[in-house]
């Protein structure tokens, strides 16, 4: 019974993610693109929950849907650009599509080449006794990966200062 729900959830979330990302790249108006991207982010957050990554799903909604998307919306509203939709030449649009399809087929063939395609069913992550997702995540993050964590915080500081310096009027 549980497995049936997992299957239904996967197909609903996956199709939502693919369709909304298709709409995102094909809408002329950037505001519509941003709203379709919001739907994609929520579908991907659901997929993270299916993969036993509850904490990641939460920060997906908070950071991507909450912060990054609002930043995009601010810039779209601020600039209010004249419609600059697609490449004018249809030939180049077709070329872009063909490149994307070729890349997709190439990834599929790589998957076929490895044993990954015949992998067994995904289960739940087995945590040690008394551990939940967030506790296991924090334990690994703040012991094994503490230095990369600090470097990431410096990166965010640099990005913040850089954004202020670049965007301010001289």
Partner 1 sequence: MLTLAHYLVLSAIIFSIGIAGVLIRRNLIVMFMSLELMLNAVNINLAAFSNYLQQMTGQIFIVFVMAVAAAEAAVGLALIISLFRNKQTINADEINTMRG
Q: Which of residues 98-117 bind partner 1 (CB under 8 A)?
A: 99-101, 103-104, 107-108, 111, 116-117
- The one-character DSSP state at 64 is I
Extract the tokens encoding 155.
Answer: 């990166």
Length of the chain: 170
Interface of this chain with partner 1, residues 115 to 154, rule: CB under 8 A:
116-126, 136-137, 139-141, 145, 148, 152
Cβ proximity of 66 and 57 under 8 Å: no
3-state SS class at 18 = helix
What stretch of H or E contains 80?
none
Q: Using CB under 8 A, which of 5, 12, 68, 132 touches partner 1?
A: 68
Q: Using CB under 8 A, which of 5, 6, 132, 150 touches partner 1?
A: 6
16 touches partner 1 (CB under 8 A): no
CA distance 107 to 102: 9
Please give the size of the binding site for partner 1, defined by CB under 8 A.
88
Which C-beta is closer to partner 1: that of 1 or that of 118?
118
Q: Using CB under 8 A, which of 5, 18, 132, 150 touches partner 1?
A: 18
CA distance 136 to 142: 10
77 touches partner 1 (CB under 8 A): no
Q: How far is the CB of 133 from partner 1 (least distance, A)?
A: 8
- The one-character DSSP state at 130 is T
2 touches partner 1 (CB under 8 A): no
Q: How far is the CB of 95 from partner 1 (least distance, A)?
A: 8
CA distance 10 to 43: 10
């Amino acid at each position: 019974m549980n497995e049936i729900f997992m299957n239904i959830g996967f197909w609903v979330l996956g199709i939502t993610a693919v369709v909304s990302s298709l709409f995102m790249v094909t809408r002329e108006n950037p505001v519509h693109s941003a709203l379709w991207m919001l739907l994609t982010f929520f579908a991907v957050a659901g997929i993270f929950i299916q993969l036993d990554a509850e904490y990641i799903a939460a920060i997906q909604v908070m950071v991507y849907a909450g912060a990054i998307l609002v930043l995009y919306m601010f810039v779209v509203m601020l600039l209010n650009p004249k419609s600059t939709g697609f490449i004018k030449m249809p030939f180049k649009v077709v070329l872009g599509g063909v490149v994307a399809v070729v890349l997709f087929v190439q990834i599929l063939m790589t998957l076929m080449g490895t044993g990954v395609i015949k992998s067994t069913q995904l289960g739940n992550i087995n945590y040690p006794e008394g551990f939940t997702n967030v506790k296991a995540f924090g334990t690994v993050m703040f012991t094994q990966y503490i230095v990369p964590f600090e470097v990431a915080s410096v990166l965010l500081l640099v990005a913040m200062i850089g954004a202020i310096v670049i965007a301010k009027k001289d």
